[in-house]
Structure formats: C-alpha cells, structure tokens
Amino acid sequence: MFYYSLNRGGILFLGNSESIGSCTGMFAPLDGKSRIYRRIDDSVHAQPVEFPVSFFPPVPNHSPVDRNAPVSLQTQVDQLLLRQFSPPSVLANRNGDILYIRGKTGRFLEPAAGKANWNIHAMAREGLRNVLAGAFQKAIRQKPAVIHRNVKVDADGASKTVDLVVQAIEAPEALKGMVLIVFSIPETAHNTKKAPGKASGRPEPVRGTRPAELERALREVREELLVARGEMQTSREELKSINEELQSANEELYSTNEELSTTAEEMQSMNEELQTVNTELQTRVEDLTRASSDIKNLLDATDIAIVFLDNELHVRRFTARATRIINLIQSDAGRPLADIVSNLIYPELIGDAREVLRTLAVSEKLATSRDGSWFAVRILPYRTVENRIDGVVITFSDITASKTLESELKGKESQLRQLTESLPHMFWSCLPEGACDYLSRQWIEYTGVPEPEQHGRGWFRQIHPEDRERVMVEWEGAVSSHTSFISTFRLRHRDGAYGTFRVHAVPIRDAGGAVIKWYGSCFDIERRSPMGEMVEREHGSGEGNAGGQ
C-alpha cells in the first residue's frame, strides 16, 4: 500500500517496531538503523495496464509508406555502431531480475537448470558469479560505476577474460533505480588471439601469470569480505534494535498479562452467563427454524396463492403460486401492490384491502383472471402474536374446476328440466333430507300454486286431507330408510277437484352410497292412455325391481 501511495522516488519513514518485511524489491534502504527507505521505481512494479477504449477493432491505416524517403546519415551510423561495436549489456532491477538484454551475452550468461529463472545471479557463468554479486551490491550502494577487469569466465570448457562494468542508473527518470551490467572483451585478449608468433614459431613464455591471478583472487575475496562485513554490521544493528523492541514489548505483555489475570474471574462468570443466554437463544432459534420450516411446507403443500402486505399495502412476502396470478418477483418485496401488474380482473382489490384494515372484517369475493380461471379471493387482517394488526393476508383459491363443474351441472339441470317439462307427467326433486326443491311446470300448472310456496314440505298441502297423513308417513319412512317411495294419493286441481295420481320416487346416491338427491314422477291414473299404460307398466316393473332390492 505504501509503495503505490508514494510518488516516484518517495521517502518512507517507519517506526522502531516496523519493517519492510519481504518488500526488499520495492524500497531501498537509505538509513537502515533509522528505518528510512526510498521507493524503487522499475518496470517490474510499475507496469501500466492498458484497457480497451473501444469494443470496435481499429481501422487499419492503409496510407502508403514511402520506402524511398531519405534516411538520416547520423541515424544509420548510430545503428551501425550499436550493432557492431557496442558491447553486450544487460539491464536488471535491484533484485537482479533481467529486464532487457543487448547483444550476444551467451559467453557470460546461461539459463539455470530447473524452473525458468531470469535472475542474473542464477544465470552468470562460473567464475563470473561471485564477482558479479559483489559488484552488483556495491554499485547499488554507491553512485560511481564498479569496474572489474580481466575476470576469467568458464564457458564450454574454455576460460575467457572479460571486463565487467556495473552501474546503478540515476537518469533518465524512467530507468532510475535499475542496474546496467556491461560485458566487454579486454584489448589484451584480442591482441593475444590475433598476434602471430615469432619467427621460430614459439610463443613467448608469460612470466608472473600465476602470482597475478592469485593477487586478483585475493583482492576479490577481500572485497567480498568487506561487503559481507558491512551487511553483517547492518544486520547486527537491526537485530539489536529488534531485541530492544522485543524487550519493551515483553514488558508491556507482562503488564497486560497481569491485567488479564485480574479480570479472568469476571470473564469466567460472564462466560457462564453468556452460555446460559446462548442456550436459551439457541433453543428459540431452533423453535423458530422449525416453525418456519413447518409454515413453508404447509404453504407448499396447500398450493394456495398467498400474498402478505404491510399496513401500507406494500408486498412483504408471497408464495410461489401467487406469481401465476400477480406478476411478482423476489425483488418486488417492499413495493406497493398497486404498482404491480396483475392477471386478476379485480380492480377493487386494493380498496377492499384498505377496507379490511379499517374495519378488520374478512372480505370474500369471487374473481376471474384474464385466462378464464376463477379464484375465491379472501382478505383478512394480519395479526401478530401480540394481537396487533400489521397488514393484511390475501389468499387466492383456484375454483376453476368447481366453476366448470357447476356450469356443466347447470347445463345438465337445464336440459333435464326441459326434458321433464316436455313430458306429460309431473316431475319433482327433493334434497337428501326430504325437502322439496323443484317442481316441474306440469305440477305448477295442475295445482295452480306458485312453486316457492310448495318447496320444503309445502307440497303436502295439495294432497287430499284424507291421504295427507298417510303419504307423509310413507315419505318420511322412505327418506329415513333410503328406499324407493311408491304411493297413490289424490292431488287437488287448480279448480278444486281432486285427481288420483300414482307416485314413484327413487334416491340418487354418490360413489360412497350416500343419498345426494331424490327424483320422483307422478302420472294421472284416471286418465289412462296407451302412453300412460306403458308408463304404468314400466313403473310397475320398477316397483318390482325396487322391492327386490
């Protein structure tokens, strides 16, 4: 964080108990004892990230290039000199990671075995590695370039001599903090390789070569020892300051330990209280979790659309089934219900919900949706455990099947009534408990009494008084025993005369055997006709079958 907060070349001040840790490649020590560091700016840590400014590919530039344009003579000469006469060189950061290579450096560097490693210390050949390490650290600490001449390098079994120049770069600003390593072949090596022998063909013997090599090796060892001694001294001072810091921290920890030991008993008692409270809360959480799971499974099992609203009629919660009626999604929680599109044709829904909040009375209505489905909409107040009103609950029960069945039954009932009214006989029906609920048109026209007055037990008043009590006993016996009702009685005509009728009624049962309806017919036995006699014979055979049952 400090690295990216500081400007280029910025100074970092740390306290006595702070250090840069493993960020040695980001900060260079200016004064290790005082904890003063300078930010290192190199291409490893400051690489710009390019983001595309457009999602369209750039339009290629097809402008013709003039290949015959004159080239500067100075540019050509500079390129020739750099290509043929500039020595091999390497640009690295303070950690030795190679950033750029110029020229053929294979005689001095080789890839290390194992995992790819572009660190110059790992790639330096035998004989150059120790010299390069000492010169690299020395160049970082001081501004002048560090030069080592006639360094022997082992390359492919042969020993070669090279002059090594290591210099820390201070300018330009873009390269500040980097290190330049230059490898050059000394002139003596060139002359030795090119100078011909004497006339005798024997080279002159080289005198004093071994002592010179030993002196050079001794100098290198001394320089390395000086570098190691300086680093050891710096490390010793850092360890000493760290030791002092640890001693002061130890004293602080000792005092803190005493304070903690005095509060241990209080913490213990508090811990026991918290454990008791935690146990109670855990029990409540388990109860609430179980209750929530029960409610969720109950709502899923009933498959009823339910919407919970607050006092402002904003959506609080809803079941998955409700999304088929009202276009609700999870993010609609907290939105007013009036702002959400509904498939239900029920414009008074919001008004009825407000009326329920005001009166606390349950509202029940039937409504249809745009796809033709029917729903029983029930709105009731939402009561909390404390019996406080906190919104409303709206349930939508799908009654499409019931409505369809009701419509079919009404159609069949209409067809049955038309059929019974087209026949010359009288037809009637009763409820399972024996109360009359339908009389055909022929019955009404014969008696001249409106149908509502004869519903229930009112039709008994049209029977002759001498036959009425007997017929009532027979009818109640058939209803209680759930058997067919067959009787003969005299029925009053609208002109006051009585006609004798034969009556036959049978119970209609459901799949479980329970009586759900009674249907009966009456025909005048005094006015016989071929059709009447045939009907009477059919009724007679029906009576025989009923008696057999």
What's the CATH number where 118 sits? Answer: 3.30.450.20
**Residue 496 sits in the same domain as residue 447:** yes
Helix (H, G, I), strand (E, B) or coil at 518: strand
- 355 is in which domain, residue-wise? 303-398
**Residue 366 sits in the same domain as residue 410:** no
Question: What separation in angstroms does the CA of 119 have from each of 22, 124, 125, 130, 167?
Answer: 17, 9, 12, 14, 17
**Residue 368 sits in the same domain as residue 480:** no
Distance between CA atoms of 40 and 140, rounded to whole angstroms? 11
C-alpha angle 214-220-224 in degrees, rounded to nearest 5: 145
Helix (H, G, I), strand (E, B) or coil at 111: coil
Sequence-separated (6 or more) residues with CB below 8 Å from residue 493: 446, 447, 448, 499
**Residue 490 sits in the same domain as residue 355:** no
Distance spanning both ends of the chain, measured CA to CA: 100
Boundary-marking domain end, from 147, 167, 188: 188
- Cis-peptide, bond into residue 205, ω within 30° of zero: no
| 197 belongs to a structural domain | no
Sequence-separated (6 or more) residues with CB below 8 Å from residue 95: 24, 25, 119
Distance between CA atoms of 540 and 92, rounded to whole angstroms? 122
For 179-216, letters b (16+ CB in 10 Å) and e give: bbbbbeeeeeeeeeeeeeeeeeeeeeeeeeeeeeeeeb
Boundary-marking domain end, from 154, 170, 188: 188
Structural domain total, the chain: 4
Q: Which of 130, 38, 136, 56 minimizes the C-alpha distance to 96?
A: 136
Helix (H, G, I), strand (E, B) or coil at 521: strand
Helix (H, G, I), strand (E, B) or coil at 88: coil
Question: What DSSP character marks residue 208?
Answer: S
pLDDT in tens, the chain (549 residues): 677 778 888 898 888 767 777 677 778 888 767 778 888 875 444 444 444 444 445 545 544 545 555 557 777 776 666 766 678 899 999 888 898 888 888 888 888 778 888 888 888 888 888 888 888 888 888 778 888 888 888 777 777 888 889 988 888 888 888 899 998 887 655 544 444 444 444 444 445 567 877 887 788 788 778 878 877 888 888 898 899 989 989 999 998 888 888 888 888 888 899 999 999 999 999 998 888 888 878 777 777 889 999 999 999 988 888 888 899 998 988 999 999 999 899 999 999 999 999 999 999 999 999 888 999 999 999 998 888 999 999 999 888 888 888 888 888 877 777 777 777 788 899 999 999 998 988 899 899 999 999 999 999 999 999 999 999 999 999 999 999 999 999 999 999 999 999 999 999 998 888 999 999 999 888 764 444 444 445 445 444 443 333
- The answer to whether the pTM exceeds 0.75 is no
| 207 belongs to a structural domain | no
| 181 belongs to a structural domain | yes
| 224 belongs to a structural domain | no
Distance between CA atoms of 395 and 376, rounded to whole angstroms? 8
**Residue 363 sits in the same domain as residue 422:** no
**Residue 392 sits in the same domain as residue 489:** no
| 227 belongs to a structural domain | no
Distance between CA atoms of 31 and 387, rounded to whole angstroms? 74
| 291 belongs to a structural domain | no
| 58 belongs to a structural domain | no
Q: Which of 518, 522, 544, 541 minimizes the C-alpha distance to 532?
A: 522
Distance between CA atoms of 315 and 335, rounded to whole angstroms? 6
**Residue 352 sits in the same domain as residue 312:** yes
Distance between CA atoms of 84 and 101, rounded to whole angstroms? 15
On whether the CB atoms of residues 38 and 27 are closer than 8 A, the answer is yes
**Residue 531 sits in the same domain as residue 425:** yes
**Residue 453 sits in the same domain as residue 523:** yes
C-alpha angle 347-349-350 in degrees, rounded to nearest 5: 105
Record the tokens describing residue 14, joined without a space: 């740390």
Helix (H, G, I), strand (E, B) or coil at 93: coil
On whether the CB atoms of residues 479 and 457 are closer than 8 A, the answer is no
Q: Kindly tell me the sign of the dihedral angle through the C-alpha atoms of 432, 437, 442, 446.
A: positive
Distance between CA atoms of 240 and 238, rounded to whole angstroms? 5
**Residue 412 sits in the same domain as residue 543:** yes
Q: 97: burial class by Cβ within 10 Å (0-12, 13-18, 19+)? A: middle
| 126 belongs to a structural domain | yes
Distance between CA atoms of 330 and 343, rounded to whole angstroms? 18
**Residue 429 sits in the same domain as residue 363:** no
Question: What separation in angstroms does the CA of 93 have from each of 45, 96, 227?
Answer: 10, 5, 20
